[in-house]
């Protein structure tokens, strides 16, 4: 741990620049994955401007800075009390893991049989996201402890799985929005209003909605009001 802090202190300027650039790349990958849920041709990504990526990157940077210490505490305590001290009996752990996977498996089977809209795929992506989070719980702690004596192949593997994780997280979030029960009525200037629409993204220059299976893009200046379908209170 001391070695990590010493390394961060000596290379703070370079690391801060690299982290900002990395977060910008991660933000773009997450947005691309998120929008691909609604447009497999990735045409929506060209609506995103550099200023939007910068704004999302700054938001992500503030979130990472704010919760990094809390995340480290959770990771460290989880590993110490669950793994090293083995406070949970192995058979209890086996039962919990079996229930975890069994529950997801039953839900996917049910959704595959009863729904034709690919809802089972959302459940599969949620499972993948949870497994990747568990993987990073162990990987982050081990890398911090073993720094700087980490094998190069392990570093490359972590980089690969990091970007895979970001893509899966983005797609999972997109699917959660797609299958969300929240719908809105969109009042549009000089055009027909949109009913039972799902909000994909609201930007200063364009607003993107999903109406049924159709993606609708409207200049934000033409969006007069967004109202929840079960409420008369405007969202914006």
- Give residue limits of the domains in the chain: 2-178, 184-228
Task: Among 3-17, 73-87, 127-141, 214-228, name the most confident range.
Answer: 214-228
Give the per-residue pLDDT at 198: 93
Number of H helices, E strands in the chain: 6, 5
Tell me whether the omega of the peptide bond preceding residue 148 falls within 30 degrees of 0, making it cis: yes
* Mean pLDDT over each residue of the chain, to the nearest integer: 79
Whether 49 has a pLDDT exceeding 70, the answer reads yes
Global confidence as pTM: 0.75
User: Six-digit token pair at 124?
Assistant: 């599969």
Contact indicator for 57, 23 with CB cutoff of 8 Å = yes
Strands across the sheet containing 223-228: 214-219, 206-211, 194-202, 184-188, 223-228
The three-point CA angle 57-171-167 to 5° equals 60
Whether 234 has a pLDDT exceeding 50, the answer reads no
Confidence bin at 185 (pLDDT 50/70/90): very high
Confidence bin at 87 (pLDDT 50/70/90): low
The candidate with the shortest Cα–Cα distance to 40, out of 118, 138, 123, 142, is 118
Please tell me what DSSP assigns to residue 44: G
């Amino acid at each position: 741990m001391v070695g990590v802090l010493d390394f961060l202190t000596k290379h703070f300027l370079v690391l801060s620049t690299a982290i900002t650039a990395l977060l910008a790349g991660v933000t773009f990958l997450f947005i691309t994955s998120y929008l691909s849920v609604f447009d497999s041709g990735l045409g929506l990504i060209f609506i995103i401007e550099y200023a939007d990526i910068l704004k999302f990157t700054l938001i992500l940077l503030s979130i990472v800075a704010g919760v990094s210490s809390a995340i480290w505490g959770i990771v460290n305590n989880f590993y110490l009390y669950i793994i090293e001290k083995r406070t949970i009996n192995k058979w209890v752990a086996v039962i919990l893991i079996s229930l975890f996977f069994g529950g997801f498996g039953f839900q996917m089977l049910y959704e595959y049989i009863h729904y034709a809209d690919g809802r089972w795929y959302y459940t599969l992506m949620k499972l993948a996201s949870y497994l990747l989070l568990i993987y990073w719980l162990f990987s982050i702690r081990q890398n911090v402890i073993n720094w700087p004596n980490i094998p190069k192949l392990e570093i490359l593997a972590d980089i690969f799985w990091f970007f895979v994780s970001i893509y899966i997280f983005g797609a999972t979030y997109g699917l959660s929005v797609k299958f969300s029960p929240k719908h809105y009525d969109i009042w549009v200037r000089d055009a027909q209003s949109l009913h039972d629409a799902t909000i994909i993204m609201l930007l200063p220059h364009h607003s993107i909605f999903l109406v049924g299976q159709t993606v609708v893009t409207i200049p934000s200046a033409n969006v007069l009001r967004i109202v929840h379908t079960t409420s008369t209170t405007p969202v914006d």
